[in-house]
Amino acid sequence: MLLLSAVCLALWVSCCPAEDTNMTTALRLMSETPLIDGHNDLPWQFRKQFNNKLSEVDLYTLSTTHTNIPKIKEGRLGAQFWSAYVPCDTQFKDAVRQTLEQIDIVHRMCQKYPEVFQFATSAAEIEAAFEANKTASLIGVEGGHSIDSSLGTLRIMYWLGVRYMTLTHSCNTPWADNWLVDTGSHQAENGGLSEFGKAVVMEMNRLGMLIDLAHVPVEVMNQVLSMSRAPVIFSHSSAYEVCKHKRNVPDDVIRIVKEKRGVIMVNFYNDYVTCSEKATISDVADHFDHLKKIGGPEIIGFGGDYDGVTRMPDGLEDVSKVPNVVAELLRRGWSETDVKSALGNNLLRVLREAEKVRDDMKKTQPGDMPIPLEEVTNPCRTNTGYPENGAASTGSLSTLTLLLALALVALLTR
């Protein structure tokens, strides 16, 4: 009888398509290691479609988004960084208010569906949610314009649960240039990062907030990688050599990310996958393969960009389809260890290392130098707190003081 069973099993395996075997393995690996996705814009869809009236949303039946609860379950989404995104046209206006409302909508989503989502702010909390069979829900702010050039606002957002910030989106801030500078369509204004921008990076290190380099030009990538004490992430970017789009990461930067133990989380948007309107699962896997070749399996993650873009690859139409990528990587010969690294172990490591830097810097005082007034002067900003003898002299003094403070901190933290 045992012999007959063994023969039947062997015949079934030999007849079973390889893709089915790969998918079976993919689902098993995803049950053992949380899939941590770096970027999903569902909160922005709540604003666009419902003006954040979550009472009018049923995430079990919502059909106008890439993401709903049945799709999350089918896609084995273990943890998600939900994007708190507001457009660049809010800069110098109501960006902070709108960002706080996007942070609020993530908290309310977790409260409305506690059987599905568990709010998380750390590697340990991600693992706890995964053990509880819930989707760990974290927040990433997409665009430095959301803090209105204020370190105090940055800290408040951290206290509200934000665990990464993308330094820019598609506009320069008063302290950082954005990725469109590399296309020639925007002018550089800050030499990459201004001195205040460098103070933002330092404060993010001190807080334990991940620095996200998606949406920045190569100059900013290199500046941050050279100065950050914690590993950085690209929450939703792909490989430039596979698709030469300026939102993607060039090989020389990939090598530095490897050296600095960061993570590049592959974006599924067709325009960044193939530089065209069409793409396939295989095209997406090409980016995983390239990152693995240049930087190793330890720098790779998933950053689908669902609900933030309009064109997704065939076979990756919504979040339920992500296991198809995992099965494709297995088909291409990726080891189970390497797949688990990309699924979530790499991001968990980066979070832990950022948390360690935070703990090591606990004696460092919070940054409190305001940005020079002339760098943020606009009709919607008052000058309360700045000396009344002119913005120019205030700015030069502030910049000098900031430089001295940065140098002192650098000496003290060697």
Q: Which residues are catalytic?
A: 39, 41, 142, 169, 215, 236, 305
Q: 323-331 and 18-32 are packed helices; what angle lies between their axes, rounded to 10 degrees?
A: 120
Kindly write down the DSSP assignment for every residue of 245-313, as one continuous string: -TTSB-HHHHHHHHHTT-EEEE---HHHHTSSS--BHHHHHHHHHHHHHHH-GGGEEE---BTT-S---
Tokens of 334: 């990726």
Nearest to 65 by CA among 81, 48, 84, 77: 48
Q: Which residue carries 């910049």 as its tokens?
A: 399
Strand 263-266 relative to strand 233-234, pairing: parallel
Strand spans (E) along 88-183: 117-119, 135-142, 162-166
Q: Compute the distance between CA of residue 67 and CA of residue 46 in angstroms, rounded to an integer.
A: 11
C-beta of residue 284 within 8 angstroms of C-beta of residue 300: no
CB 349 within 8 A of CB 301: no
